[in-house]
Structure 1
Amino acid sequence: MTLLILSYWIFSYLAGNLMAAWFVSKYRGIDLQQHHSQNLGARNAGRVLGKRAFVLTFLGDALKGSLVVILGYWMQLELWTVVTAAFFAILGHLYPFWLKFRGGKGISTFIGAGIALDPFLFLWMIIGTAVAMPIARSLTLSMVGGFIFYTAAIIATGKFIIYIPVILAIVFMLWKHRQNLQDALNLKRQK
């Protein structure tokens, strides 16, 4: 491993630490970690601060994921190196060191990185989420369908080994969403 690759991965983790929700909420004079889900993500920013905060947070977090990938492509690094950088950007969002490892849940950063990595593969994430929506009737549960389709597309295109870091990021994101998933399942059972 070269110093360049290691520096790129460290940069990617640090880029992931730039929490758009933190900046948006500080600008508004509110600490999101003290409100609603206490999560530094787009959904909580939207719930607490409104639609504009949701959009700004989503775009900011997606942008950092895509920029990390675009930088790797611009540097002409191997795909596995760029995929690993996407993992580190998502990990930095989930566990930012400067916020005592309490960050967001990674979806916006994953979307930005996923689209930049391979828009065709990411299309399967969207298709899977759309297919699951009428059945699950919950965006949180439908996201699992999206992850399944996305992973299946990765396997079908023969990129499984290269994309293992992104699949690992999905596992981390599902772990961070475990309470949301449980709540959505409980709500579905009550209907």
Structure 2
Amino acid sequence: MPVLDSTTIVLLLWAVLGYLCGSVPFGLIITRAMGLVDPRTIGSGNIGATNVLRTGSKAAGAATLILDAVKGAVAVVAARLAAGEDAAQVAALLAFIGHCYPVWLRFRGGKGVATFLGVLLGLVWPVGLLTCATWIAAVVMTRVSSVGALTAAAVSTIWMFLIAQFDTVLVGIVMTLLLYWRHRQNLARLRAGTEPKIGQKP
């Protein structure tokens, strides 16, 4: 963690703002705007980009992926500009939590992959880019979305150490553990050999 220069009130403020920013359910907003099926009623039942893709619309899936990443980056950058690095990390973690557990949807959100990538891009862009590259490479090689997510999340901490971004390691590890928790059913299917590939019905 960075040196805590901000007051408790300021950090609490950015915790709330980060959570609210991360909790915007773009997957649901986009599918409704495009007249598509509610992603909560198909596939894994979450509002993330991979499940939105199961509506049959690549455009909706791509838009969800981009906007879920952008909201994470926006929360981090806004907090840093307004209050500093400590507030940026608080906003980063809470934006990620907000995406996974949005109050508006009874705390049933996405699995956090796109927001995780966006948050890392906002926190330390070289780490974010390397993590994105890791995610893309793993997805291309396996065609399994969860493998890309889990690999990228695990390797992100290694990138932080290699680039000497030690201040971000703690928040990165916390987000990685939470992302693995959100993917616990995927992990079970991977062990059983039943995890679907991208474009295949689960």
| Displacement after TM superposition at 1:38 (Å) | 0.9
Instruction: Assess if the C-alpha contact under 8 Å between 1:128 and 1:148 holds in 2.
Output: no
Partner of 1:66: 73
Letter of the 1:41 counterpart = G
Report the CA distance between 1:137 and its aligned residue.
6.1
How big is the shift at 1:159?
3.6
Per-residue CA deviations over 1:69-102 (Å, capped at 9, x if unaligned) read 110222141x232122111001000001121110
| Residue 173 in structure 1 maps to residue 174 in structure 2 | no
| 1:144 corresponds to 2:157 | no
Deviation at 1:22, TM superposition (A): 1.2
User: How far apart in 1 are the matches of 2:113 and 2:139?
Assistant: 17
AA at the equivalent of 2:82 = M
Partner of 1:105: helix, strand, or coil? coil
How does the TM-score come out when normalised to structure 2?
0.81
CA distance in 2, matches of 1:131, 1:50: 23
Alpha-carbon distance between aligned partners in 2 of 1:137 and 1:36, rounded to the nearest angstrom: 17
Q: State the AA in 1 paired with 2:46.
A: N
Matched, 1:45 2:47: no
Q: Is the 8 A contact 1:127 1:149 kept in 2?
A: no
Which residue, out of 71, 78, 82, partners 1:75? 82
Distance 1:188 1:133 in 2: 16
SS at match of 2:54: helix
Matched, 1:153 2:156: no
- Which residue of 3, 8, 12 maps to 2:9? 3
Superposed CA RMSD in Å reads 2.4
- Of all paired residues, the percent bearing the same amino acid is 27
What is the CA–CA distance in structure 2 between the aligned matches of 1:21 and 1:137, rounded to whole Å?
21
What's the CA shift for 1:135? 7.4
Alpha-carbon distance change, 15 to 182 in structure 1, aligned in 2, over 3 angstroms:
same
Shift in Å, 1:176: 0.8
Distance in 2, matches of 1:155 and 1:29, equals 42
State the number of aligned residues.
188
Higher percent of residues as helix: 1
Deviation at 1:168, TM superposition (A): 0.7
Measure, in 2, the Cα distance between the counterparts of 1:144 and 1:53. Answer: 23
Tell me, what secondary structure is at the counterpart of 1:48?
A: coil
In structure 1, the partner of 2:128 is: 122
2:101 corresponding residue in structure 1: 95
Give the corresponding residue for 2:31: 25
Q: Check the 8 A contact 1:84/1:166 in 2, yes or no.
A: no
Quick one: distance in 2 between partners of 1:108 and 1:49? Answer: 19
Unaligned runs of at least 5 residues, structure 2? 1-6, 196-202
State whether structure 2 residue 137 is matched by structure 1 residue 109: no
